[in-house]
Chains A and B, each alone.
Chain A
């Protein structure tokens, strides 16, 4: 199946950590992705993880994958105002396309 679910909104104080959660349904997905979309812009690839990994860290970003529960999370450390955006989780389907969630709108407050 192709169904990626995310919580719709997250509000976080500047300097705190943000955690965005995602669940997916296709157990055969080999790669899972996180994209960021700012107003009026396209999607920016943030990071991706291979399904045989549990964790991937890239500077302020940490991705955790629980393949058994089909749960993916993105942690942003020391959240800044520039991190305010919509974050999309996506799973690879059939080797050539991505199935996206509806996106989580992250608002960073001072």
Chain B
């Protein structure tokens, strides 16, 4: 069975541009979460979606948005990119989106903003 898949794997953008990152969950998983991992730090929670509804949002500006589609895949959008947005963006899926439903992570999208 395929794990969580993310695309693209690497991306280089310029300050002020917009970016869309994509994620396909493990088959049967209905919840998708997004995390940002800056070099040398642990992942920070951005969003969680369950059954296409936003269940939670981390401490990120409104430039960050996301959505979940009927097939449970998800997109993370970031507008007006800043240099500080350079990071590894990790998508995770889980069966139910609750704490007793462990998160399974993809390999991430490495975003570099110049």
Shortest beta-carbon distance, B94 to chain A, in Å? 9
Q: Specify the main secondary structure of chain B where it touches its partner.
A: loop
The residue on A at minimum CB distance from B55 is: A96
Interface string of B90-104 (1 = CB under 8 A from A): 101000011110111
- Interface, chain B (partner A; CB < 8 A): 4, 33, 40-45, 48, 50, 55-56, 58, 90, 92, 97-100, 102-108
Shortest beta-carbon distance, A53 to chain B, in Å? 13
- Interface, chain A (partner B; CB < 8 A): 4, 29-31, 33, 35, 40-45, 48, 50, 88, 90, 92-103
Q: Using Cβ atoms and an 8 Å threshold, which residues of chain B touch A48?
A: 102
- Contact status B40-A31, CB under 8 Å: no
Shortest beta-carbon distance, A35 to chain B, in Å? 7
- Contact status A30-B105, CB under 8 Å: no
Q: Specify the main secondary structure of chain A where it touches its partner.
A: strand
Q: Using Cβ atoms and an 8 Å threshold, which residues of chain B touch A88?
A: 42-43
The residue on A at minimum CB distance from B46 is: A97
Q: Using Cβ atoms and an 8 Å threshold, which residues of chain A touch B50?
A: 96
- Contact status B42-A92, CB under 8 Å: no
- Contact status B41-A102, CB under 8 Å: yes
Shortest beta-carbon distance, B86 to chain A, in Å? 16
Shortest beta-carbon distance, A31 to chain B, in Å? 5
Partner of A97 from the list B40, B48, B100, B105 (CB cut-off 8 Å) is B48
Shortest beta-carbon distance, B49 to chain A, in Å? 10
Given contacts A95-B98, A97-B33, contact A42 B48 (CB under 8 A): no
Provide a sorted-by-A list of 15 A–B residue pairs whose CB atoms are within 8 angstroms: A31-B100, A40-B107, A41-B108, A42-B107, A50-B100, A88-B43, A92-B99, A93-B45, A95-B99, A96-B33, A96-B99, A98-B45, A99-B45, A102-B42, A103-B42
